[in-house]
Protein backbone atom coordinates (compact mmCIF):
# COMPACT_ATOMS: atom_id res chain seq x y z
CA UNK A 1 0.00 0.00 0.00
CA UNK A 2 1.42 3.39 -1.01
CA UNK A 3 1.66 6.37 1.34
CA UNK A 4 -1.30 8.10 -0.34
CA UNK A 5 -3.52 5.04 0.23
CA UNK A 6 -2.33 4.77 3.83
CA UNK A 7 -3.17 8.41 4.50
CA UNK A 8 -6.58 7.93 2.93
CA UNK A 9 -7.23 4.94 5.23
CA UNK A 10 -6.34 7.11 8.23
CA UNK A 11 -8.66 9.84 6.95
CA UNK A 12 -11.55 7.35 6.78
CA UNK A 13 -10.78 6.27 10.35
CA UNK A 14 -10.81 9.91 11.42
CA UNK A 15 -14.15 10.36 9.64
CA UNK A 16 -15.48 7.36 11.58
CA UNK A 17 -14.43 8.99 14.88
CA UNK A 18 -16.06 12.26 13.87
CA UNK A 19 -19.32 10.51 12.94
CA UNK A 20 -19.43 8.51 16.19
CA UNK A 21 -18.49 11.18 18.74
CA UNK A 22 -20.09 14.44 19.75
CA UNK A 23 -16.64 16.05 19.81
CA UNK A 24 -13.20 14.97 18.66
CA UNK A 25 -9.99 16.39 20.14
CA UNK A 26 -6.31 15.92 19.29
CA UNK A 27 -5.96 13.85 22.47
CA UNK A 28 -8.68 11.41 21.37
CA UNK A 29 -7.19 11.15 17.88
CA UNK A 30 -3.71 10.51 19.25
CA UNK A 31 -5.06 7.77 21.51
CA UNK A 32 -7.30 6.11 18.89
CA UNK A 33 -5.25 6.59 15.71
CA UNK A 34 -1.75 7.45 16.85
CA UNK A 35 -1.69 10.76 14.97
CA UNK A 36 0.31 13.80 16.01
CA UNK A 37 -1.49 17.10 16.21
CA UNK A 38 0.10 18.22 12.93
CA UNK A 39 -0.96 15.01 11.14
CA UNK A 40 -4.47 15.29 12.61
CA UNK A 41 -4.86 18.91 11.49
CA UNK A 42 -3.63 18.02 8.01
CA UNK A 43 -6.32 15.33 7.60
CA UNK A 44 -9.02 17.59 9.06
CA UNK A 45 -8.14 20.27 6.50
CA UNK A 46 -8.83 17.75 3.72
CA UNK A 47 -12.11 16.54 5.26
CA UNK A 48 -13.32 20.15 5.49
CA UNK A 49 -13.52 20.21 1.68
CA UNK A 50 -16.29 17.58 1.75
CA UNK A 51 -17.97 17.74 5.16
CA UNK A 52 -19.43 20.42 7.42
CA UNK A 53 -17.06 20.43 10.40
CA UNK A 54 -17.25 23.02 13.18
CA UNK A 55 -14.50 24.08 15.58
CA UNK A 56 -15.22 24.62 19.27
CA UNK A 57 -12.14 25.50 21.32
CA UNK A 58 -9.85 22.51 20.88
CA UNK A 59 -12.59 20.25 19.47
CA UNK A 60 -13.94 19.46 16.02
CA UNK A 61 -17.65 18.67 15.68
CA UNK A 62 -19.34 16.99 12.72
CA UNK A 63 -22.45 19.10 12.07
CA UNK A 64 -25.50 16.87 12.67
CA UNK A 65 -27.23 18.17 9.57
CA UNK A 66 -24.41 16.69 7.48
CA UNK A 67 -23.48 13.63 9.57
CA UNK A 68 -25.22 10.69 7.89
CA UNK A 69 -24.71 8.52 10.98
CA UNK A 70 -26.81 10.95 13.02
CA UNK A 71 -29.97 10.46 10.96
CA UNK A 72 -32.60 8.07 12.36
CA UNK A 73 -35.21 7.27 9.69
CA UNK A 74 -38.45 6.19 11.33
CA UNK A 75 -39.63 2.67 10.39
CA UNK A 76 -36.40 1.69 8.62
CA UNK A 77 -33.48 -0.56 9.50
CA UNK A 78 -30.65 1.92 9.00
CA UNK A 79 -27.17 0.63 8.12
CA UNK A 80 -24.37 3.21 7.98
CA UNK A 81 -20.82 2.49 6.85
CA UNK A 82 -17.88 4.82 6.34
CA UNK A 83 -16.65 2.68 3.44
CA UNK A 84 -18.39 -0.04 1.43
CA UNK A 85 -18.00 -1.89 -1.83
CA UNK A 86 -21.59 -1.25 -2.93
CA UNK A 87 -24.64 -0.18 -0.95
CA UNK A 88 -26.75 -2.12 -3.47
CA UNK A 89 -24.81 -5.34 -2.74
CA UNK A 90 -25.07 -4.66 1.00
CA UNK A 91 -28.83 -4.19 0.74
CA UNK A 92 -29.28 -7.69 -0.71
CA UNK A 93 -28.28 -9.18 2.66
CA UNK A 94 -30.64 -7.09 4.79
CA UNK A 95 -34.41 -7.47 5.27
CA UNK A 96 -36.95 -5.31 3.45
CA UNK A 97 -37.36 -1.77 4.77
CA UNK A 98 -33.61 -1.34 5.14
CA UNK A 99 -31.48 1.63 4.12
CA UNK A 100 -27.80 1.05 3.42
CA UNK A 101 -25.57 4.12 3.10
CA UNK A 102 -21.82 4.69 2.82
CA UNK A 103 -19.56 7.73 2.95
CA UNK A 104 -17.24 6.19 0.36
CA UNK A 105 -18.31 3.56 -2.15
CA UNK A 106 -15.66 1.65 -4.10
CA UNK A 107 -17.76 -0.55 -6.40
CA UNK A 108 -21.00 1.35 -6.70
CA UNK A 109 -23.32 -0.23 -9.26
CA UNK A 110 -24.72 1.60 -12.25
CA UNK A 111 -26.85 0.37 -15.12
CA UNK A 112 -25.60 -2.65 -17.08
CA UNK A 113 -22.95 -3.48 -14.49
CA UNK A 114 -21.11 -0.17 -14.79
CA UNK A 115 -19.12 0.92 -11.73
CA UNK A 116 -19.88 4.21 -9.98
CA UNK A 117 -17.15 5.36 -7.57
CA UNK A 118 -18.82 7.21 -4.71
CA UNK A 119 -16.30 9.72 -3.39
CA UNK A 120 -16.32 11.53 -0.05
CA UNK A 121 -19.05 14.13 0.42
CA UNK A 122 -21.74 12.58 -1.76
CA UNK A 123 -24.81 10.55 -0.87
CA UNK A 124 -24.53 6.87 -1.83
CA UNK A 125 -27.62 5.02 -0.64
CA UNK A 126 -29.86 2.04 -1.40
CA UNK A 127 -33.44 1.56 -0.16
CA UNK A 128 -34.82 -1.99 0.05
CA UNK A 129 -38.59 -2.26 0.34
CA UNK A 130 -41.60 -4.45 -0.32
CA UNK A 131 -43.67 -3.12 -3.19
CA UNK A 132 -46.93 -4.09 -4.83
CA UNK A 133 -46.70 -5.19 -8.46
CA UNK A 134 -48.57 -2.16 -9.81
CA UNK A 135 -46.22 0.13 -7.89
CA UNK A 136 -42.99 -1.59 -8.94
CA UNK A 137 -43.50 -0.79 -12.62
CA UNK A 138 -43.62 2.95 -11.88
CA UNK A 139 -40.47 3.16 -9.74
CA UNK A 140 -38.12 3.95 -12.68
CA UNK A 141 -40.07 7.12 -13.44
CA UNK A 142 -41.32 7.95 -9.92
CA UNK A 143 -37.88 8.14 -8.31
CA UNK A 144 -36.30 10.65 -10.76
CA UNK A 145 -39.46 12.77 -10.66
CA UNK A 146 -39.32 12.73 -6.84
CA UNK A 147 -35.66 13.72 -6.71
CA UNK A 148 -36.14 16.51 -9.24
CA UNK A 149 -39.04 17.84 -7.12
CA UNK A 150 -36.93 17.85 -3.96
CA UNK A 151 -34.08 19.66 -5.72
CA UNK A 152 -36.55 22.26 -7.00
CA UNK A 153 -38.22 22.79 -3.61
CA UNK A 154 -35.11 22.77 -1.41
CA UNK A 155 -32.48 24.29 -3.67
CA UNK A 156 -34.48 26.17 -6.35
CA UNK A 157 -32.77 24.01 -8.99
CA UNK A 158 -34.49 23.22 -12.27
CA UNK A 159 -32.97 19.74 -12.52
CA UNK A 160 -34.01 17.67 -15.53
CA UNK A 161 -34.06 13.95 -16.31
CA UNK A 162 -31.81 12.41 -18.92
CA UNK A 163 -33.48 9.25 -20.19
CA UNK A 164 -33.97 6.87 -18.58
CA UNK A 165 -33.36 8.25 -15.08
CA UNK A 166 -30.21 10.31 -14.60
CA UNK A 167 -30.68 13.72 -13.01
CA UNK A 168 -28.86 16.48 -14.89
CA UNK A 169 -28.21 20.18 -14.55
CA UNK A 170 -26.94 22.08 -17.59
CA UNK A 171 -26.47 18.67 -19.25
CA UNK A 172 -24.11 17.57 -16.48
CA UNK A 173 -24.89 14.58 -14.26
CA UNK A 174 -26.03 15.49 -10.77
CA UNK A 175 -27.39 12.09 -9.72
CA UNK A 176 -27.69 8.53 -10.95
CA UNK A 177 -30.53 6.17 -10.12
CA UNK A 178 -30.61 2.38 -10.30
CA UNK A 179 -33.89 0.52 -9.75
CA UNK A 180 -33.96 -3.27 -9.43
CA UNK A 181 -36.61 -5.76 -8.31
CA UNK A 182 -36.83 -9.42 -7.37
CA UNK A 183 -39.66 -11.73 -6.36
CA UNK A 184 -39.92 -13.23 -2.91
CA UNK A 185 -42.91 -15.59 -2.85
CA UNK A 186 -45.90 -13.44 -3.71
CA UNK A 187 -44.03 -10.25 -2.88
CA UNK A 188 -41.84 -8.01 -4.99
CA UNK A 189 -38.74 -6.63 -3.33
CA UNK A 190 -37.65 -3.31 -4.79
CA UNK A 191 -34.18 -1.80 -4.58
CA UNK A 192 -33.72 1.93 -5.18
CA UNK A 193 -30.08 2.94 -5.44
CA UNK A 194 -29.11 6.60 -5.66
CA UNK A 195 -25.78 8.31 -6.10
CA UNK A 196 -26.12 12.07 -5.58
CA UNK A 197 -23.24 14.48 -6.10
CA UNK A 198 -23.52 16.84 -3.15
CA UNK A 199 -20.18 17.94 -1.68
CA UNK A 200 -17.91 15.44 -3.42
CA UNK A 201 -15.48 16.07 -6.27
CA UNK A 202 -16.57 13.83 -9.18
CA UNK A 203 -13.71 12.58 -11.37
CA UNK A 204 -15.61 13.37 -14.59
CA UNK A 205 -16.03 16.77 -16.25
CA UNK A 206 -19.51 15.67 -17.32
CA UNK A 207 -20.68 15.69 -13.68
CA UNK A 208 -21.80 18.53 -11.42
CA UNK A 209 -22.41 18.83 -7.65
CA UNK A 210 -24.79 20.73 -5.40
CA UNK A 211 -21.71 22.33 -3.80
CA UNK A 212 -20.70 23.68 -7.19
CA UNK A 213 -24.20 24.99 -7.91
CA UNK A 214 -24.69 26.55 -4.44
CA UNK A 215 -21.12 27.83 -4.13
CA UNK A 216 -20.82 26.34 -0.64
CA UNK A 217 -21.06 23.05 1.24
CA UNK A 218 -24.61 21.67 1.45
CA UNK A 219 -25.98 19.84 4.55
CA UNK A 220 -26.81 16.38 3.22
CA UNK A 221 -29.34 15.24 5.82
CA UNK A 222 -31.97 17.75 4.76
CA UNK A 223 -32.15 16.22 1.28
CA UNK A 224 -31.70 12.67 2.64
CA UNK A 225 -34.56 13.04 5.15
CA UNK A 226 -36.95 14.45 2.56
CA UNK A 227 -36.06 11.69 0.10
CA UNK A 228 -36.55 8.97 2.73
CA UNK A 229 -39.88 10.40 3.86
CA UNK A 230 -41.29 10.28 0.34
CA UNK A 231 -39.89 6.85 -0.48
CA UNK A 232 -41.60 5.59 2.72
CA UNK A 233 -44.94 6.51 1.15
CA UNK A 234 -44.17 5.90 -2.49
CA UNK A 235 -47.75 4.79 -3.13
CA UNK A 236 -48.85 8.44 -2.74
CA UNK A 237 -46.48 9.46 -5.50
CA UNK A 238 -47.93 7.00 -8.00
CA UNK A 239 -51.62 7.19 -7.10
CA UNK A 240 -52.18 9.17 -10.33
CA UNK A 241 -49.86 7.38 -12.77
CA UNK A 242 -50.86 9.40 -15.83
CA UNK A 243 -50.02 12.69 -14.10
CA UNK A 244 -46.72 11.16 -12.95
CA UNK A 245 -45.90 10.13 -16.52
CA UNK A 246 -46.72 13.63 -17.80
CA UNK A 247 -44.43 15.19 -15.20
CA UNK A 248 -41.68 12.76 -16.18
CA UNK A 249 -42.09 13.77 -19.83
CA UNK A 250 -42.03 17.48 -18.94
CA UNK A 251 -38.74 17.05 -17.11
CA UNK A 252 -37.15 14.78 -19.72
CA UNK A 253 -34.27 16.70 -21.29
CA UNK A 254 -33.80 14.01 -23.96
CA UNK A 255 -37.03 14.68 -25.86
CA UNK A 256 -36.77 16.75 -29.01
CA UNK A 257 -33.02 16.27 -29.22
CA UNK A 258 -30.79 14.45 -31.64
CA UNK A 259 -29.35 11.43 -29.85
CA UNK A 260 -27.13 8.44 -30.33
CA UNK A 261 -28.22 5.34 -28.42
CA UNK A 262 -25.67 2.57 -28.11
CA UNK A 263 -27.01 -0.96 -27.65
CA UNK A 264 -25.25 -4.31 -27.65
CA UNK A 265 -25.97 -4.79 -31.35
CA UNK A 266 -26.23 -1.31 -32.87
CA UNK A 267 -25.85 2.44 -32.66
CA UNK A 268 -29.13 4.23 -33.30
CA UNK A 269 -28.98 7.90 -34.31
CA UNK A 270 -32.03 10.09 -34.70
CA UNK A 271 -34.42 12.48 -32.99
CA UNK A 272 -35.90 11.45 -29.62
CA UNK A 273 -39.60 12.08 -30.12
CA UNK A 274 -41.47 10.43 -27.23
CA UNK A 275 -41.70 7.73 -24.58
CA UNK A 276 -43.89 4.64 -24.94
CA UNK A 277 -46.33 3.38 -22.31
CA UNK A 278 -43.58 0.99 -21.15
CA UNK A 279 -40.99 3.74 -20.83
CA UNK A 280 -39.20 2.95 -24.09
CA UNK A 281 -37.49 5.83 -25.87
CA UNK A 282 -38.88 6.41 -29.35
CA UNK A 283 -36.24 7.59 -31.80
CA UNK A 284 -37.09 8.83 -35.28
CA UNK A 285 -34.41 7.71 -37.72
CA UNK A 286 -34.11 8.07 -41.48
CA UNK A 287 -35.71 4.64 -41.88
CA UNK A 288 -38.54 5.02 -39.37
CA UNK A 289 -39.34 4.91 -35.63
CA UNK A 290 -37.32 2.73 -33.27
CA UNK A 291 -38.33 1.85 -29.71
CA UNK A 292 -35.47 1.28 -27.29
CA UNK A 293 -35.90 -0.01 -23.74
CA UNK A 294 -33.63 1.08 -20.90
CA UNK A 295 -32.51 -2.55 -20.61
CA UNK A 296 -31.19 -2.43 -24.18
CA UNK A 297 -29.53 1.00 -24.02
CA UNK A 298 -25.92 0.79 -22.87
CA UNK A 299 -25.34 4.50 -23.40
CA UNK A 300 -27.23 7.53 -24.66
CA UNK A 301 -25.46 10.62 -25.97
CA UNK A 302 -27.13 13.96 -26.66
CA UNK A 303 -25.70 15.15 -29.98
CA UNK A 304 -27.00 18.74 -29.82
pTM of the model: 0.92
Do 78 and 225 reside in the same domain of the chain? yes
Instruction: Please state the three-class secondary structure of the chain as a single string.
Output: CCHHHHHHHHHHHHHHHHHHCCCECHHHHHHHHCCCHHHHHHHHHHHCCCCCEEEECCEEEECCCCCHHHCCCCCCEEEEEEEECCHHHHHCCCCCCEEEEEEEEEEEECHHHCEEEECCCCEEEEEEEEECHHHHCCHHHHHHHHHHHHHHHHHCCCCEEECCCEEEECCEEEEEEEEEEEEECCEEEEEEEEEECCCCCCCCCCECCHHHHHCCCCCHHHHHHHHHHHHHCHHHHCCCHHHHHHHHHHHECCCCCEEEEECCCCEEEEEEEEECCCCCEEEEECCEEEEECCCCCCEEEECC
Residues 114 and 227 in one domain: yes
Q: Name the band, by pLDDT with cuts 50, 70 and 90, for residue 264.
A: confident
The predicted-structure confidence for 65-97, as pLDDT tens digits, reads as follows: 999 999 999 999 999 999 999 999 999 999 999
Quick one: 165 and 212 in the same domain? yes
Sign of CA dihedral 10, 16, 22, 28: negative
Domain count, the chain: 3
| CATH code at position 266 | 2.30.30.100
Residues 150, 204 share a domain: yes
More confident residue, 181 or 103: 103
Question: Which carries the bigger pLDDT value, residue 298 or residue 248?
Answer: 248
Q: Pick the last residue of a domain from 251, 277, 292.
A: 251
Asked if pLDDT for residue 204 goes beyond 90, the answer is no
pLDDT for position 114: 55
Look at residue 104 in the predicted model and tell me its pLDDT: 95
User: Is the confidence at residue 2, as pLDDT, over 90?
Assistant: no
Q: Which residue has the higher pLDDT, 14 or 267?
A: 14
Q: Is 123 in the same domain as 42?
A: no
Question: For residues 149 and 144, what is the distance between their CA atoms, to the nearest angstrom?
Answer: 9
Return mean pLDDT, the chain.
90
Q: Are residues 150 and 93 in the same domain?
A: yes
Q: What is the pLDDT of residues 47-67, one digit of tens each?
A: 999 999 999 888 999 999 999
Residue 1 pLDDT grade (very low, low, confident, very high; cuts 50, 70, 90): low
Is the pLDDT confidence value at 11 over 90?
yes
Residues 50 and 171 in one domain: no
85 in the same domain as 218: yes
Checking if the pLDDT of 112 tops 50, the result is no
Say whether both 207 and 272 belong to one domain: no
Q: Tell me the CATH number at 196.
A: 3.30.930.10
For residues 272 and 199, state if they share a domain.
no
Write out the residue range of the structural domain in which residue 282 sits. Answer: 257-302
Please say whether the beta carbons of 63 and 219 come within 8 A.
yes
pLDDT above 50 (res 145):
yes
User: Are residues 42 and 109 both part of a single domain?
Assistant: no
Q: Which of 105-114, 152-161, 233-242 has the lowest mean pLDDT?
A: 105-114
Amino acid sequence: MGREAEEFSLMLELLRLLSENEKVTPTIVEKELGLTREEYEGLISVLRKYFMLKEEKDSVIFYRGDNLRAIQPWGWNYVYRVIAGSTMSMAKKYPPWSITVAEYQVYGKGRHGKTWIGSLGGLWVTYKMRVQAHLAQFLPIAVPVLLSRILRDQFKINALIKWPNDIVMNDKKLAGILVEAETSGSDIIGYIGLGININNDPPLETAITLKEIAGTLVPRNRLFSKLTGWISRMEKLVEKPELLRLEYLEKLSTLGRRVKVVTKDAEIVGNASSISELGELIVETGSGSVKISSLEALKIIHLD
